Amino acid sequence: MAFSSDSMLQKIFAKSPAFDSNKRVFGKPVSISGGAISCNERNLKSKGKIAVKAAAEADVMGLKNHEVNLDLGFDVVAERELREKGFLGMRKTKLVCTIGPACCSLEDLERLAMRGMNVARLNMCHNTREWHRDVIRKIRKLNELKGFSVSVMIDTEGSLIHVVDHGVPSSLKAEEGSVWVFTAQKFEGSRPFTVQANYQAFSEGIMVGDELVIDGGMARFEVVEKMGNDLHCKCTDPGLFLPRAKLSFWRDGKLSYHGLPTLSPKDWADVDFGISEGVDFIAMSFVNDADSVKDLKNYLFAKTSKSIRVLAKIETLESLQKLEEIVEASDGIMVARGDLGVEVPLEQIPTVQEDITRLCRQMNKPVIIASQLLESMVEYPTPTRAEVSLSSITSNGMMAAAFLDMA
C-alpha cells in the first residue's frame, strides 16, 4: 500500500468522481484513513484517460517516493503541473483576458493561455478591425498548433456619449474651478478647455445645474451655461480626461438618458466582422431590455450557422430594473462594474453584484465579473491582499467568472 498525508492530494482524491467508481470496480483500491491516502497500486490503473501522476510516500518493499498512477479524470497530467497551473483542470471559474497592444504577440498569447486564459476579449472601442483580425488568427493558430481551447469574444462599443478628440494623445487634467466647453462641433488640432463629444445631440434636454460625470467619476462638472448645442461646465471635482472618456449627465441623482439605441451603426459593422471571423461570443454593451438581445440573436441566426453566444452587459439602472428578462434572453451576463458604478452608489456594488450572480446561477446562465479585478497590478507586479482575498472567492466558483484586463 502507498500512503500520502499531502492535504492537496487528499482533497483531489476525496472530490474525484473516479474515487467511488474505483472502489466499485477494483474493490476499494483507494481509501482515506487517519488523514492519509492509501492506494492499492496493483489494482489502480489508468484506463486510457488522462491520469494524475501523484508522488506519494510509499510503504511498499521499503521504497521511498514511490509513484502511483491515479485515474482521476482531470485535464492535468502531474502533481507538479497541478501546483504550477493552479488546478486549471478543476477550476470552476474561467478567466477572460482583454487583449491589447502589450500582449498581442503569438508568444504573449501563448503565455496567457499557459497561465489559464480561457477567453480572449477584444474591445472594439480600440484599435482597427485589421488589428483585431490579426489577433483572432493568432489565437486560432495557437489553438491548432498547441492544443489550447481559447475562445474569442468581441465587446461592442455601444451607443454612448464620449470624447472624440481633445487634440493630444495623452490625458488632460481638469482643475477645480476651471470652465470647459463641451461641443459637438468638429475642429482641427487642440483648443484650450474645449472637448468634442461624438453625439451631435448630446446636449438635448440638458439644463443649467445638471452634473456632468467623466468616466464614472474621474472628474465632475456642473453645467453653468448652455449656448446652442454647446455646454459651458465648471469643474467641481478635479481629475483627468482620458482619450474616449465617457460622458454622463445627472439631475437630482438620476441619469439623463438620450434614448440611444443599444447597438450603433458601428456596432452592427463590428458584429458583421465578428461573424466573418467566427468569434465565439459577442458582449453587448449598455443593454437596457431583452428585446435588444433578441434582435441581435435573431440577426446572428439569420447570418451564420455558427452558434455565437450573446452576453448582455449589465451597466445601467434600467438594465437592473429588467434584469430577469435580460438574463433569460441572453446566453450569459457580464457585470460591468466600471460603468455600473456610475449609476449605482459604490457601497451598493457588492450587493448588486451578488444579486446578479445569484440570479444567473438560478437560471443556469454563465456570469462574468468585470472591471478592476486586480487593478493594482496595472502599476505593481503583485496584487494587494484584499484583491487576492476577493479574487479567491471568485475563483472558487462562489461568485462569477473572473475578468482580467491585460490591455
Q: pLDDT band at 315, cuts 50/70/90? A: confident
Radius of gyration of the chain (CA): 26
Instruction: Calculate mean pLDDT across residues 134-162.
Output: 91
Q: What is the pLDDT of residue 333?
A: 94
- Give the 3-state secondary structure of residue 116: coil
Amino acid at 256: S
Q: Rounded distance, CA 371 to CA 127, Å?
A: 20
Cell numbers 500582449 correspond to what residue?
103
Cα-based torsion angle of the residue sequence 204, 206, 208, 209 in order, rounded to the nearest 10 degrees: -170
Q: What is the pLDDT of residue 264?
A: 87
- Give the 3-state secondary structure of residue 25: helix
CB within 8 Å of 390: residues ≥ 6 apart: none
Q: Rounded distance, CA 343 to CA 56, Å?
A: 54
Per residue in 359-377, pLDDT (tens digit) is 999 999 999 988 877 888 8
Above 80 in pLDDT, residue 229? yes
Indicate the domain borders of the chain.
Answer: 2-83, 91-159+260-405, 163-255
Residue 274 backbone class (left: φ over 0; alpha: ψ -120 to 50; beta: rest): alpha
CATH class of the domain comprising 91-159+260-405: alpha beta
**Sign (positive or negative) of CA dihedral 249, 254, 256, 259:** positive
Q: pLDDT band at 16, cuts 50/70/90? A: very low
The one-character DSSP state at 316 is S
Instruction: Calculate mean pLDDT across residues 30-58.
Output: 40
Per residue in 264-302, pLDDT (tens digit) is 889 999 999 999 999 999 999 989 899 999 999 999 999
Above 50 in pLDDT, residue 1? no
Cut 0.85: pTM above it: no
Cell numbers given for 9: 492530494
CB within 8 Å of 287: residues ≥ 6 apart: 262, 293, 312, 313, 314, 316, 319, 326, 330
Encode 366-395: b = buried (16+ Cβ within 10 Å), e = exposed.
bbbbbbebbeeeeeeeebeeebeebbeebb
CB distance 289 to 326 below 8 Å: yes
* CATH number for region 163-255: 2.40.33.10
Backbone angles phi, psi at 10, to 5 degrees: -60, -45
Per residue in 190-201, pLDDT (tens digit) is 778 888 888 888
Above 50 in pLDDT, residue 30? no
Q: Rounded distance, CA 238 to CA 97, Å?
A: 31
3-state secondary structure 236-288: EECEEECCCCEEEEEECCEECCCCCCCCCHHHHHHHHHHHHHCCCEEEECCCC
- Give the 3-state secondary structure of residue 109: helix
